């Protein structure tokens, strides 16, 4: 699966693409740092209509390839290192309640 990353993309579009390949998982993004080079906010962006520019200070554009063999850690590192996006992966919410993030290093296709 390949996801196009640019500042105009909406969060819900990324989430929809991600869910199509990994239906048991949900990806959320943190708000961008308050200053350039600063640490990311610990606030998750819950409004999918916001654009990726609301999540990042690095505005690199490109295509991120996500493979079922990637671990959660690898996925998060690629989002962060290349595109300045701090992401978190969760199991799909049950009854609208978001659980704890997925933290193990199994391949995403095994979760």
Task: Count CB-CB contacts under 10 A for residue 69.
Answer: 10
Who wins on pLDDT, 1 or 103?
1
Q: What confidence category does residue 35 fall into, taking pLDDT thresholds of 50, 70 and 90?
A: low
- Nearest residue to 91 (alpha-carbon basis) of 104, 79, 100: 100
- Residue 101's SS3 state is coil
Among 7, 27, 8, smallest CA distance to 17 is for 27
Mean pLDDT of 21-42: 77
How far is residue 76's CA from residue 85's CA, in Å, rounded to a whole number? 8
Please, are residues 70 and 80 in contact by the beta-carbon 8 Å criterion? no
Confidence of residue 107 (pLDDT cuts 50, 70, 90): confident
Instruction: Tell me the pTM.
Output: 0.83
């Amino acid at each position: 699966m390949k996801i196009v990353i640019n500042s105009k993309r909406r969060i819900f579009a990324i989430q929809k693409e991600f869910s199509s390949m990994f239906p048991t998982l949900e990806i959320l993004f943190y708000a961008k740092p308050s200053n350039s080079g600063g640490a990311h906010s610990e606030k998750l962006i819950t409004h999918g209509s916001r654009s990726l520019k609301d999540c990042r200070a690095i505005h690199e554009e490109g295509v991120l390839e996500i493979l079922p063999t990637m671990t959660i850690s690898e996925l998060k590192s690629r989002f962060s290192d290349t595109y300045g996006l701090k992401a978190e992966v969760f199991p799909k919410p049950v009854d609208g309640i978001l659980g704890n993030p997925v933290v193990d290093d199994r391949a995403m296709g095994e979760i």
